[in-house]
């Protein structure tokens, strides 16, 4: 064999060897990948990616919000701004009902809600829509209703007849006027008045309860307030609710102890609005503290710049309250964050 042919054969053999080496030492074949999967459980080309935390929020639809309370729910001093009206702005499309009446005690609020029965003495409802005088009772006493409003009372039902309850302050008498003429109805003693709030209650409601400022308890009698508020909530039957704490230290001497008792009783459902006003009310309201505000806060009193009197708030007070109730709804998972 001549020298040229020998060199050509050698070169070809070397080229074939290099090609075979590239096949073995280069990118893995399909068989190689399968083997690696069997060894580690994950292909090298498919390393596990760290997943973001699963952020699932409890988002339940709110059909309706019902606010039971006294003048602080009614919005006295707010020049038309109430915390229920602010909730309505923050929850577009959701009905927010304001059942606040000035001057009412927790017991009177419970009567309007239907958790404390209000009864009548026997009387006859006439066939026509003529007002008829009658008597109201709660545990043998005049419940002192309808002095400042009838929210949650009318239209009510007595003896199966729907009508309107009114109070004549000049005569100091109650009257019932049926809404639709019909047959005369004799109503027996101790027949219960079924208030509108009682008839209209829904277990799907989100309930806001702000009671106890009028005839406020002290630290020794606060359990009465707790029991009354529990009765209201149990009667309505909703497990979605917020209980707002008391605010005025000047009016309610034991306000700190009362709010501590409410917090213990209602847990995460309790809104300590007084502490919020003391700590963040002026800042969140965009108000520069006055000298009097500084004194108020040092003495544990809601700043004067948020109030119109010893207990009632101004428009900023109620707007901040509405926002804090809304934030409590978010905290409790009633609405999406």
**Could you list the pLDDT tens digit for every one of the 337 residues in the chain?**
444 444 444 434 444 443 344 343 333 333 332 323 333 333 333 333 333 333 333 335 899 999 999 999 999 999 999 999 999 999 999 999 999 999 999 999 999 999 999 999 999 999 999 999 999 999 999 999 999 999 999 999 999 999 999 999 999 999 999 999 999 999 999 999 999 999 999 999 999 999 999 999 999 999 999 999 999 999 999 999 999 999 999 999 999 999 999 999 999 999 999 999 999 999 999 999 999 999 999 999 999 999 999 999 999 999 999 999 999 999 999 997 6
Neighbours of 231 (CB within 10 A): 17
Report the pLDDT value the prediction gives residue 337, as an integer from 0 to 100.
63
Assign 251 to helix, strand or coil: coil
**What's the rounded Cα separation, in Å, for the pair 110 and 198?**
10
* Closest C-alpha among 270, 205, 264, 277 to residue 238: 205
Fold of 60-116+200-337: Rossmann fold (3.40.50)
**What's the rounded Cα separation, in Å, for the pair 49 and 30?**
23
Pairing of strands 123-125, 185-187: antiparallel
Q: What is the DSSP string of 243-291?
A: EEPP--TTTSTTHHHHHHHHHHHHGGGEE-HHHHIIIIIHHHTT-PPPH
What predicted TM-score, i.e. pTM, was given to this entire model?
Answer: 0.82
Assign 245 to helix, strand or coil: coil
The residues with which 271 forms a beta bridge, in sequence order, are: 244
Report the pLDDT value the prediction gives residue 60, as an integer from 0 to 100.
54
**What's the rounded Cα separation, in Å, for the pair 337 and 327?**
9
Domain ranges of the chain: 60-116+200-337, 119-194
């Amino acid at each position: 064999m001549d020298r040229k042919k020998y060199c050509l054969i050698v070169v070809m053999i070397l080229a074939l060897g290099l090609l075979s080496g590239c096949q073995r030492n280069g990118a893995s074949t399909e068989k190689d990948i399968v083997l690696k999967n069997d060894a580690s459980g994950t292909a090298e080309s498919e390393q596990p990616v760290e997943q973001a935390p699963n952020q699932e929020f409890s988002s339940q639809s709110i059909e309706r919000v019902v606010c039971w309370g006294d003048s602080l729910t009614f919005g006295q001093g707010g020049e038309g701004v109430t915390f229920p009206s602010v909730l309505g702005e923050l929850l577009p499309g959701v009905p927010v009902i304001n059942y606040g009446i000035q001057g009412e005690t927790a017991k009177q609020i419970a009567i309007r809600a239907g958790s404390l029965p209000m009864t009548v003495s026997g009387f006859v409802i006439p066939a026509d829509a003529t007002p008829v005088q009658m008597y109201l009772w709660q545990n043998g006493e005049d419940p002192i209703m309808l002095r400042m409003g009838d929210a949650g009372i009318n239209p009510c039902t007595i003896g199966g007849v729907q009508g309107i309850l009114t109070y004549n302050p000049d005569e100091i008498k109650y009257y019932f006027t049926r809404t639709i003429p019909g047959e005369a109805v004799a109503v027996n003693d101790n027949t219960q008045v079924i208030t509108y709030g009682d008839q209209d209650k829904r277990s799907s409601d989100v309930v806001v309860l702000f009671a106890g400022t009028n005839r406020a308890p002290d630290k020794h009698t606060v359990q009465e307030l707790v029991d009354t508020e529990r009765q209201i909530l149990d009667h309505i039957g909703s497990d979605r609710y917020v209980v707002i704490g008391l605010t005025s230290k000047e009016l309610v001497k034991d306000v700190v102890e009362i709010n501590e008792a409410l917090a213990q009783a209602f847990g995460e459902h309790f809104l300590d609005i007084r502490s919020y006003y003391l700590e963040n009310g002026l800042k969140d309201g965009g108000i520069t503290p006055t000298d009097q505000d500084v004194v108020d806060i040092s003495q544990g009193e809601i700043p004067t710049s948020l109030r119109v009197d010893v207990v009632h708030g101004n428009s900023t007070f109620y707007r901040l309250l509405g926002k804090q109730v809304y934030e409590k709804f978010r905290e409790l998972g009633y609405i999406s964050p």
